[in-house]
Structure 1
Amino acid sequence: MLGPYEAQIRSWLEAEPTLSAAVVLQRLMNVDQTRFTNKSLRTVQMAVKAWRQESALENLNGDWMTPVLPPAKSFGNILR
């Protein structure tokens, strides 16, 4: 349903990161009134959430997976 409009939606979200799914749906309804109705809101909400999560993970570049540990010799003091 959203496939043909994915690039457009993503560009809207990049330009306006706080854009709500309801506003995205309104814009889609303006573009194609026969395809989108108010009943499409949940579909748009799920897609926007997924794209935001994807974008957040891409922005982290995997840095979130790097553990932050104290130097090895400080463990000796903890174990004594």
Structure 2
Amino acid sequence: MLEPYEAQIRAWLEAEPTLSAALVLQRLMNVDQTRFTNKSLRTVQIAVKAWRKETVVEIIIGDWMAISPLLQPATSLGNILR
């Protein structure tokens, strides 16, 4: 149902991170009144929640990868004992 609009929804959420699922649905209803109704709210909520989780994971992993060289030892234990 949302697949054709996923890129647009993600762009809206990136531009306005606090955008609610209800407002996303309103925008979708403006784009395609035959496909979206108020009954679509739960579907949009579930999708928005999932996409936000993905974004958080990407941020956390990206931050971790940026600092990971600091967390990993430069040499192995064998090299230290020599």
TM-score range, shorter chain: 0.7 to 0.9
Q: Identity over the aligned pairs, expressed in percent?
A: 80
* TM-align CA RMSD: 1.2
Match of 2:43? 43
> For this pair of structures, how many residues does the alignment match?
64
Q: Output the TM-score relative to the length of structure 1.
A: 0.77
For 2:26, the equivalent position in structure 1 comes to: 26
User: Is residue 2:39 matched to residue 1:3?
Assistant: no
Deviation at 1:27, TM superposition (A): 0.0
User: TM (normalized to structure 2)?
Assistant: 0.75
Post-superposition offset of 1:61: 1.5
**SS of the residue 2:29 aligns to:** helix
CA distance in 2, matches of 1:48, 1:60: 18
Structure 2 residues without counterparts, runs of 5 or longer: 69-82
Structure 1 residue runs of 4 or more that deviate by more than 6 Å after TM superposition: none
Greater helix share, 1 or 2?
A: 2
Q: What residue identity is the alignment partner of 1:41?
A: L
